[in-house]
A and B are shown apart, each in its own frame.
Chain A
């Protein structure tokens, strides 16, 4: 009901409300302006090669951001994904180092299963035991990271130990596009269908926007939470394999702190940490924006040491602007209703 009335009011063409409704469009224009700016400073930015490069480098972020989006929609958060990436990547890399003839598809499958198991542990702790997601995943981040160091004994698996077919997973191309791009596109399509056209997908939104009424309407909240964290874990496990294959090395501190980048992509894309809202298009644009920033800053001769600071600043700016705009919109709604 609420959504319907809001839409009706939006039709009255309040510029701010329009902006809020088409926030993805705003983000899109920001990206376009950014691209034009960078292009003017460095003409090698918008070449076909560089664009493909950027897309390849952003693919893993996109896949992870999709999973993080559904976690955030249910009012949760997952800080353990960097550690899950490292753990699944390390185990798969060790497997490949031990017997190089392993089928690459089997590697992807094994990585995904390892990640999904990790995700299930989180799911049980959050859904059944009722721990706060931030506490549970903070603790499991440490445990998974520690396990990675234990199984690797502090050693790296480097490129010469990996078979060609394994490295091919993330470096090979199909129809001129890198495999990573294809995988990311595939997941985007699957998630688009899953979130918008399946019952479970809609239930995820319902649990996040109002847990009580979701429970009253017969949605098994525990099952949804468990599912969400398992999907997130599975995606992180898959990305672990992709990561190791792409960089051709597995280390104890692989992807350390990467969860922050993923969460940042979601928040830039307009996913609310309070749950219940978030669109795939927004998350995709958020991830692309971060990908472009990572690619453009070196091209603009910005010192790599500035990247963290700029990223943090942009995240804070984005969430604050978002909050201010949302408040204005709600106030005008209230005023209109009063008058």
Chain B
């Protein structure tokens, strides 16, 4: 009898629960914070150049560009979807920007706007296809567009590189504002904005509701399709922003940049506590996870470990972060 009661208990949104000390301390975010501290200590142990303010500050420039996409990706995963085309979107918008500037001779400002527009259109196409053809699932749609977008990037630039941007463009990748990297400021602003949107606005509530029960949310008057299209467009737009920062840091672009970005981004979101089954996740956890994976990558680079080690570690972290809650559930059931 008791068991039956439990199975029918509706899932409550986390913010609806009454306050309790126990829950305050038993949160995924504390766990993440511990891992982050461990990563930092490990970093300082293996390299004397790791744990100081300038090093940690400049290290963020290495990994924060892709981390910008993690916020919309978290929203997409909360809605039980996935977007594996973001890496290709980064490449395509970067290539469009570079080609418009170098070959078409347009001013850089126009090229940047075109880059943002390209990203948004890519996201819009993803969103529309997913909403119009529900039987296809986001996996297959974004798999197709992943090949298509990178294919278009190859058609535009073939195997060439394009670069030679004006000097001020380097500011995105290398610039500081009040001694803080510009990229870090953008990341912080985006984190706050997305945190507010996701946790404090009706739009965020709709995202969680869709993830918890898409059918019920449609019947309660949420325009599910509209919300989905907007979120996928956001993912495309931020992929374009990433393209700007990445291109600026590298000084030139090729059609094969940002390959496998989607994996790092999905890993960041999953490690940050965004449930792959939908309906769960918080921006704070995602932010900590970004720094865990980022500083791990940065530290491994400092001690000259082969970058392939990083592939293995990200893969293992991704599996662990999604497996631990499941294993916990399995033990509890026994």
Contact = CB atoms under 8 A, between A and B. Distances in A.
Given A77-B139, A129-B323, A149-B306, A308 B147 contact: yes
B306 to A, nearest CB: 7
B301 to A, nearest CB: 15
Contacts of A149: 306, 308, 311
A326 B319 contact: no
Given A273-B139, A323-B133, A323-B135, A308 B319 contact: no
A161 B275 CA distance: 47
Interface in B141-166: 141, 143-152, 154-155, 158-159
B154 A308 contact: yes
Contacts of A306: 151, 154-155
Contacts of A129: 323, 326-327, 330
A260 B146 contact: yes
B185 interface: no
Most buried by A among B141, B152, B311: B311
A135 B266 contact: yes
Interface residues of A, number: 45
A141 B315 CA distance: 8
Most buried by B among A77, A142, A308: A142
Contacts of B137: 273-274
A263 B312 contact: no
Contacts of A132: 276-277, 322
Contacts of A140: 315, 319
Interface string A129-171: 1111011101111110111011000100000000000000000
Given A273-B139, A323-B133, A309 B148 contact: yes
B263 A142 contact: yes
A296 interface: no
A138 B311 contact: no
Contacts of A135: 266, 270, 276, 318-319, 322
B323 A125 contact: yes
A259 to B, nearest CB: 10
12 contacts: A129-B330, A132-B322, A146-B310, A149-B306, A273-B140, A306-B154, A311-B147, A312-B150, A315-B147, A319-B133, A320-B133, A320-B136
